[in-house]
Structures are given as structure tokens and as C-alpha cells.
């Protein structure tokens, strides 16, 4: 095998979705498995659809996923520039070659980017003299690629094998737009050749452009790289592919994205609390399987076992529950220190200045909930009352309907807390007090839980008291009584 050089070439038209980042992942794994190079190229020839901040988003997403780039816009390389908008002078040389060898022609069209273009039918293959006059007179034109007159075109995809096409079925694509910029069809082929790309691994949606790519390679007498078109990722219902233009009820971006045009914000997997290693592990199985039953694989493991032969030809259906399962597995592998760090980080993000909880208490919380949670924010959501006073829910408190006598009895809890210093004695006294029902529906313990937690759910009541302390417990009980009066 010749030296492996692969590229991930997104357009900066918005955030990367699952299909795009999976393409990057497969390119990265194939390159690293074969001691090759993973190149990032920004295909920004579509100036009208390009969005501010998209390129930076792409770079940050790859970094978060652990997909280290060997060559690209942010680092030096021998085959740059790595933005197509900076390569226009390079393309001119090849445009001249195609025009001089009757492999491309000027087309003066009324409608821009007309589909299913047929040169013979529209009789636009005019003489050089007329063409020159039209250009001088400022008439808008595009340059189209002239399909070579092969009887049949034989092309090969690594996954799909040989594909035979009749040249009459191919459209003569625009390769230079009316504003003078190259289209994907031309720039893509020239860049892949000049950057010595050995394998082109991209999405199935580009299969329609595959024949034109091959025709361009043949026109320049260049050796074609090996092409592999990845299967689609379907939505959970299996109805249609996942697309960034169609925002679904589950995350489709690696990182969060704010649409500056609409000011709408979209959470990514990072913002939902997924670990990058869990995200990558989940993603790699959407279209690839090495066989066997082992599913938890680190990036290092994946590099060592990855084979493009193991990529499936059929589309993969996204499964949100499976994605959560992967995150749960990686969550349970985290050390106590790592989880503690993440807990404090999440609390800070929420502007919660947590009570100074002893490490041993934190450990108890983590040990109790780690098997029940898949995300760090789930631990906080289930124990938020440990870090801030609960919200008084009117509907819940309305049901208590405490009489003056009942309030008096519940008020006795305050004296228990004030007069007893030892927690064990406090616990015993409260349990004894709970023998007397202060109203038909609620016991002392239940009312105490409502006052401390804000609901009837939560961890062991005395464990909660031991964590938040006597002072905070008193504060919440008094708040509850005042609310009920």
C-alpha cells in the first residue's frame, strides 16, 4: 500500500453533525492505523452559505473528540494552503488546461446553476470568437466541464465494487461559477491530487459526484485515489438521514452551536454531558463493527483494530438509548477525583456555591448514585437540595393543610435541633416524634423531608441532615413553617 494520506474536508456552512464527525473519525482511524497523515481541509468556495465561526467550530470539535490533525489551516504543512478560498491562483492553471484542450467551455446562461444541463439541446457550444465578444461585453458566464465521450465509464468504490455508467447519463457540471470561484467538483479533485491524497473516504451523499470526479481525473491523466463512500446514519425511526438542516429531538452536533442569524442555540453532546471518549465509542459503531462482543473501546484500541473492510455498506440507525449506555459505562469508569472535579465544575457552571461538604459525604453521594446515572448533571439534579434551599411548591404545601396544633408539634423539631448537639440523639428523638401523626396524610418524617428537600423523594433523610448540617436544616424548617402559617 502506498503512503496513506486522507483528508476531512468540511464546508464551513454551520456545525458538524453526526455523519460529518463520523467521516472524520473513520479517516483519522484509517490514517493512524497505517502510520499515515490525517489532513483537515476547509472547502469554503461557497461564500454565500459559509457562516462566521464555523471553521473554528470544526477545529474545536475535532480537538474535543481527540482527532488530532496532522496538517490543516491551524498548523504548517507542505501542501497548503488548506483553505480552498486561498487556492484560487492554483486552480487557474488547471482551468486554462481544460479550456485549451476542449475539456471545458464557457456557457452563457440565463439561469444560474441550471440542473440537468444539456449542451447539445441548448446549442451553447459557440465559437471562440463569439465567446470572446460576449466576455468583453460583460455578459455573465460560467465554465462547464465537457463530459468525455467514453462509451461507458467504469468506476470502483471500495465498498460497493465496480459501478458502470453510460456517459450520456452524466450532466456537464459547472466547475467555475459566475463570480469566478471554483465549484466543489473541480477544487476537490485538484486539491486531492496536489495534496497526494491516497484514499477519499466521504459520505454516501457524494456518490452522485463520483463519476464527475473520475472524469476529471482522467482528463488530467492523474492516478485516482481509492474511493470509499460511507453509508448514511438514519434517524432513530430509520426514516431519512440525520441532517443539520433538520433539527431533531436528540443532539446531532458534537459541540453546542448558536445560529447568529436566528439567535437560536443548539446543545451538542458536550453540553448534554457526554464524555468525548463515550461519544467517539458510540459513533464508531454507526456503520462499522470489528466482530466479537466487546463494545467499550478507547481511541487507542480503535486505532489498533480498525479496518476499512469492516465498514458496513448498509445505513446505520441512530439509537439514543445506546448512546446513553455508552456514556454510562464511561461514567462508571471515572475515578472519585474525576467525578468530584466534574461535580464542582457543573455546580460552578450553574452558579451554585455549594455548601462545604466533606469529601466522605461526596463519596457516599457518588457511590449511591453512580450506578443509577449516565451523566454528571443527573447526580446534581437528583441531589440539588443538598446545594441550595428547595423551591416551595404551592401545590405540594397546599396538601399539608396544617392546623395550629400540627404546626406546634412540627415546631418542636426546632427545639430538638437547638437543644441536642449529638446527631445520633437528634435522629432518635425525631424518629420517636414520628410515631404521632400530626395529620392524616403526612407524618413528621414526611413533613421534615418536604421542608428539607421540597418533595417526598430523595436520599436518606438523616443522611441529608448530616450533609447540610443543623444550621441549614433549621433554616429550612423555619422557612417551611412560615410558609404554611
Which is catalytic among the residues 244, 329, 388, 470? 244
**254-259 — which CB contacts under 8 Å span 24+ positions?**
254/15, 254/16, 254/21, 254/61, 254/64, 254/65, 254/279, 255/15, 255/57, 255/60, 255/61, 255/64, 257/14, 257/15, 257/57, 259/14
Residues with Cβ within 8 Å of 89's Cβ and at least 6 positions away in sequence, in order, are none
In angstroms, rounded to a whole number, what is the distance separating the alpha carbons of residues 218 and 239? 37
DSSP state of 371: T
**128-134 — which CB contacts under 8 Å span 24+ positions?**
131/106, 134/106, 134/108
Extended strands (E) in 211-281: 226-230, 233-234, 257-259, 264-266
Cis before 366 (ω within 30): no
In angstroms, rounded to a whole number, what is the distance separating the alpha carbons of residues 29 and 42? 20
Extended strands (E) in 24-85: 37-40
Helix H or strand E encompassing 19: helix 18-33
CB 43 within 8 A of CB 185: no
**Phi, then psi, of 422 in degrees rounded to 5:** -85, 130
66: cell is 481527540
Measuring CA to CA, how many Å separate 104 from each of 59, 99, 206, 321?
35, 5, 22, 51
Strand order of the sheet with strand 104-107?
104-107, 142-145, 174-176
| ∠ CA 231-79-211, rounded to 5° | 35
97: cell is 488546461
CB 193 within 8 A of CB 218: no
Does the annotation mark 244 as catalytic? Answer: yes
Measuring CA to CA, how many Å separate 332 from each of 80, 295, 352, 414?
43, 15, 25, 40
CB 377 within 8 A of CB 467: no
Smallest CA-to-CA distance from 483 within 393, 370, 416, 420 is with: 393
H-type helices in 148-208, by residue range? 184-194
**Sign, CA torsion 428/429/430/435:** positive
Active site residues: 244
Amino acid at each position: 500500500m502506498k503512503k496513506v494520506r486522507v483528508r476531512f474536508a468540511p464546508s464551513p456552512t454551520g456545525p458538524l453533525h453526526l455523519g460529518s464527525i463520523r467521516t472524520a473519525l473513520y479517516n483519522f482511524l484509517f490514517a493512524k492505523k497505517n502510520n499515515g497523515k490525517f489532513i483537515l481541509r476547509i472547502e469554503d468556495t461557497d461564500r454565500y452559505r459559509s457562516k462566521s465561526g464555523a471553521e473554528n467550530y470544526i477545529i474545536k470539535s475535532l480537538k474535543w473528540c481527540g482527532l488530532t490533525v496532522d496538517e490543516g489551516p491551524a498548523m504548517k504543512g507542505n501542501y497548503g494552503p488548506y483553505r480552498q478560498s486561498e487556492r484560487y491562483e492554483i486552480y487557474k492553471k488547471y482551468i486554462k488546461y481544460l479550456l485549451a484542450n476542449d475539456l471545458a467551455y464557457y456557457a452563457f446562461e440565463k439561469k444560474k446553476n441550471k440542473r440537468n444541463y444539456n449542451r447539445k439541446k441548448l446549442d451553447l457550444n459557440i465559437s471562440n470568437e463569439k465567446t470572446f465578444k460576449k466576455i468583453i461585453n460583460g455578459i455573465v458566464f460560467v465554465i462547464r466541464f465537457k463530459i468525455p465521450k467514453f462509451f461507458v465509464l467504469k468506476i470502483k468504490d471500495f465498498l460497493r465494487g465496480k459501478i458502470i455508467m453510460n456517459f450520456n447519463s452524466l450532466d456537464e457540471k459547472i466547475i467555475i461559477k459566475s463570480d469566478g470561484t471554483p465549484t466543489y467538483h473541480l477544487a476537490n479533485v485538484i486539491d486531492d491530487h496536489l495534496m497526494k491524497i491516497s484514499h477519499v473516504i466521504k459520505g454516501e451523499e457524494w456518490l452522485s459526484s463520483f463519476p464527475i470526479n473520475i472524469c476529471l481525473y482522467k482528463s488530467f491523466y492523474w492516478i485516482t485515489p481509492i474511493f470509499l463512500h460511507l453509508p448514511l446514519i438514519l434517524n432513530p425511526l430509520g426514516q431519512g438521514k440525520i441532517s443539520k438542516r433538520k433539527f431533531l429531538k436528540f443532539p446531532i452536533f458534537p459541540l453546542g452551536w448558536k445560529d447568529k442569524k436566528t439567535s437560536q442555540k443548539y446543545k451538542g453532546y458536550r453540553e448534554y454531558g457526554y464524555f468525548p471518549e463515550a461519544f467517539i465509542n458510540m459513533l464508531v459503531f454507526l456503520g462499522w463493527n470489528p466482530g466479537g462482543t466487546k463494545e467499550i473501546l478507547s481511541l487507542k484500541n480503535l486505532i489498533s483494530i480498525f479496518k476499512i473492510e469492516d465498514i458496513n455498506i448498509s445505513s446505520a440507525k441512530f439509537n439514543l438509548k445506546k448512546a446513553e449506555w455508552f456514556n454510562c459505562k464511561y461514567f462508571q469508569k471515572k475515578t472519585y477525583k474525576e467525578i468530584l472535579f466534574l461535580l464542582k465544575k457543573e455546580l460552578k457552571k450553574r452558579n451554585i456555591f455549594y455548601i462545604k461538604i466533606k469529601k466522605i459525604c461526596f463519596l457516599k453521594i457518588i457511590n449511591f448514585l453512580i450506578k443509577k446515572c449516565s451523566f454528571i448533571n443527573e447526580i446534581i439534579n437528583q441531589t440539588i437540595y443538598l446545594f441550595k434551599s428547595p423551591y416551595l411548591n404551592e401545590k405540594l404545601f397546599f396538601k399539608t393543610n396544617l392546623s395550629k396544633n400540627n404546626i406546634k408539634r412540627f415546631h418542636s423539631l426546632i427545639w430538638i435541633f437547638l437543644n441536642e448537639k449529638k446527631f445520633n440523639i437528634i435522629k432518635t428523638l425525631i424518629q420517636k416524634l414520628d410515631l404521632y401523626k400530626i395529620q392524616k396524610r403526612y407524618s413528621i418524617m414526611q413533613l421534615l423531608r418536604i421542608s428539607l428537600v421540597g418533595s417526598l423523594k430523595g436520599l436518606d433523610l438523616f443522611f441529608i441532615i448530616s450533609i447540610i448540617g443543623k444550621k441549614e436544616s433549621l433554616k429550612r424548617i423555619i422557612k417551611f413553617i412560615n410558609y404554611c402559617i
